[in-house]
Structure 1
């Protein structure tokens, strides 16, 4: 009898899981992807502005992993036949926007943390952290390098990735290599050096890449390669254990509908995963997952006249101390020049919002774009000309916030999951595209092992 696998969630995590199942399970395995929205890809979504591709979600992905191998995103792109479509930034140099001027980000730091000792970073004769300790990034760095390093550098870089604050984010979850080094090293500077030394650098390899034509190409290629039956606009309302399998309770136009499968990958945000775990009888796991925090963010892309002067940079980050809603900006047409794209404008894409800024993001699109335009001029130190065009993309509850102890809590939830049910996604394993793909692939491996035992 053919096995059936349900993947709940059609973002890149779920699609990567579906591709992996297709590659490992018997060819006749039936794979069904359920995505309650009307579009696949989640936060991978390519938009357009004045003839140029501008990502409405994740802009790029890391090309390497700490061990020197290609990242999961690059490997997936190659597997999907998109290896020749990988493109890299024309410039990778970014800056900090401070007081109306752009300052270089200090070289040699790890997420803004220096590799040389200073101030109170003295050797106490014992490791910085115990074998199972977890602290916030801010707590560790403030104690060793002071407030200025956290407020100007670390918060800027962490904010650009997680939209969170160093004083609230788990060291083990956001900077695992540094956390591991802190369990053996006696100073933070030594831990930074050890973490950096443990990352294999491949000469000539660019740090970042994207897909020529946009990230939506990766989404479409993954959906096609999975051979899955795609169900858009169908919400899975509940999961019920049925012997060795699962019954999915689905929404339909007027009445409910059920579908029976052998295994399930949950690749949905925490709130939806919590609801489904509760329906499956896992009340403890549901409570833990339901308590995970998120930050809401927005992206605003503005097109300016083609002769608007911009620095020879890929963009800039903004320390929270500047008091702006804009936390980062990319000079899209400078960083990602595309042959044949319109040269009628230059495009800046701004990221807005930190955890706790939700109220400020509730202005309508025109007001949010106007504020972005004004703040960009302030941060660049010169008033910008009126925009030719703009768009606003909102991601409510878009970025998970990893509190201390996050990894241990997620490991405990996974250890308690019923057989044939796997959990994957940014809420648990990391916000970058490679982390999401790896998470989906690991979940697929789990369900494939389970299917072999049936």
Structure 2
């Protein structure tokens, strides 16, 4: 019997683990993760015995990739959906209902009245009556909303929404990348309001988001366990320093311990194919020899953020969370009222801390604001709580406990032209057998998008290794 092909997956976040899982059915797989743990931005947090999510807490329920993975891993009975509570946005010092929108692009003009000035509302209400020509191949989504609805809508609706998803700035983010379906509808021209309504109507089948009782980080535990059952090798604290093609076929990786410099001891790992599931700057560096065209990815900007989990007593929260437009608060861009949003969180909190306690996640940091995070954990925790006490309903609250989860360089920024850049790289890699890429740098930062890119990368490698070893050199 011929030995199985050996595939290295570089990066042990959810995309890398999902790609490894699929490949492990027919290949010998080694997962190499530079950090001490697997899972990337899916991470557990234990606060006095209560398990919560330190990073991502939900996935899109209207895309099949994450939903299918959850059920395949046996977690179908643990799927939960948010409560009926809806988010608010902080306008004029008070929380108001977020107007209906498609990722911040309005779908209901009348609902905008509560968040806009009279002048701003008159400007936005005129949008359906004006003539709108076609869009270019790509453009910043904030620039289009500015043009169609006015700057107030961008600042008070779009910016808070995209700030929560990308920690970015809407006047720099690619319309084609962050809202591809809406962009395709709008590029021929016409009212953006009407296009957003039509897109929203076509995507109304069931709840938008889902989570797992006990936290979505449980997916990581299950993926790691399944990979080990399949005989995969999982190495954390393993930094891949270089990747080069071997003359006789396949690749040689130089793998060293995390934290060692480039001159440290590195072991050679020989594989037949490789999947890169790393941030953009990392795969640009690793592909510098084998795929020089990947060098343009070295300059993709990333935002650093922190999730500050606060367990508070006697806070009066409204809705499932509060979005904060840029400039309204010094550092907080959003708070999620986790115990109002997720019934399982409320139940776990009450069991541990008793009635009257809320679990709140405060999100701090946007692209270019890294200096705001340069504090020790305890100081950042106390500053965030002090800032939250200025919010409506917080003045009489008491902090029970808390935790700071840092995501340095955690969120890629999809600038104008991003989709074209992705297409160029994939076209180049199509002619490079044995190399595939996946992860948040490409098609979306959510769990579903990452799993979709993992499936696509695994399919490429599976196709190229078909007929092994006859199909190889």
Indicate the residue corresponding to 2:265 in structure 1. Answer: 255
Q: Aligned match of 2:88 in 70, 77, 95?
A: 95
Deviates more, 1:91-100 or 1:418-427: 91-100
2:114 is aligned with 1:143:
no
| Residue aligned with 2:451, SS | helix
2-side partners of 1:86 and 1:269: how far apart?
29
| 1:252-307 residue CA offsets vs partner (Å, 9 max, x unmatched) | 596321111111100011121111011x3322212x110111011001111112xx
Indicate the residue corresponding to 1:337 in structure 2. Answer: 343
Contact in 2 for aligned 1:151/1:321 (Cα 8 Å)? no
Indicate the residue corresponding to 1:68 in structure 2. Answer: none
Indicate the residue corresponding to 2:369 in structure 1. Answer: 357
2:17 is aligned with 1:15:
yes
| 1:172-222 residue CA offsets vs partner (Å, 9 max, x unmatched) | 0101111101123422122212322442x22xx322221222223100111
Q: Aligned match of 1:106 in 79, 99, 104?
A: 99
Q: Aligned match of 2:325 in 319, 328, 342?
A: 319
| Shift in alpha-carbon separation, 1:174–1:447, aligned structure 2, 3 A | same
Cα displacement (A) at 1:82: 0.8
Indicate the residue corresponding to 1:246 in structure 2. Answer: 251
Unaligned runs of 5+ residues in structure 2 are 110-123
TM-score, scaled to structure 2: 0.87
1-side partners of 2:276 and 2:154: how far apart?
36
1-side partners of 2:460 and 2:7: how far apart?
12
1-side partners of 2:130 and 2:214: how far apart?
51
Cα displacement (A) at 1:84: 0.9
Indicate the residue corresponding to 2:186 in structure 1. Answer: 182
Deviates more, 1:317-326 or 1:45-54: 45-54
1-side partners of 2:233 and 2:198: how far apart?
46
Unaligned runs of 5+ residues in structure 1 are 66-70
2:302 is aligned with 1:304:
no
TM-score, scaled to structure 1: 0.91
Q: Aligned match of 1:81 in 47, 61, 74?
A: 74
Q: How many residue pairs are counted as aligned between the two chains?
A: 434
Indicate the residue corresponding to 1:58 in structure 2. Answer: 56
Q: Aligned match of 2:5 in 3, 6, 19?
A: 3
Contact in 2 for aligned 1:293/1:400 (Cα 8 Å)? yes
| 1:350-395 residue CA offsets vs partner (Å, 9 max, x unmatched) | 0101111111111222221122112212222541433121111111
The alignment's C-alpha RMSD in Å is 1.9
| 1:33-85 residue CA offsets vs partner (Å, 9 max, x unmatched) | 111111110110010224432211111111112xxxxx311110100111111
2-side partners of 1:97 and 1:51: how far apart?
33
Contact in 2 for aligned 1:73/1:437 (Cα 8 Å)? yes
Cα displacement (A) at 1:123: 4.5
2-side partners of 1:125 and 1:389: how far apart?
52
| Shift in alpha-carbon separation, 1:21–1:129, aligned structure 2, 3 A | same
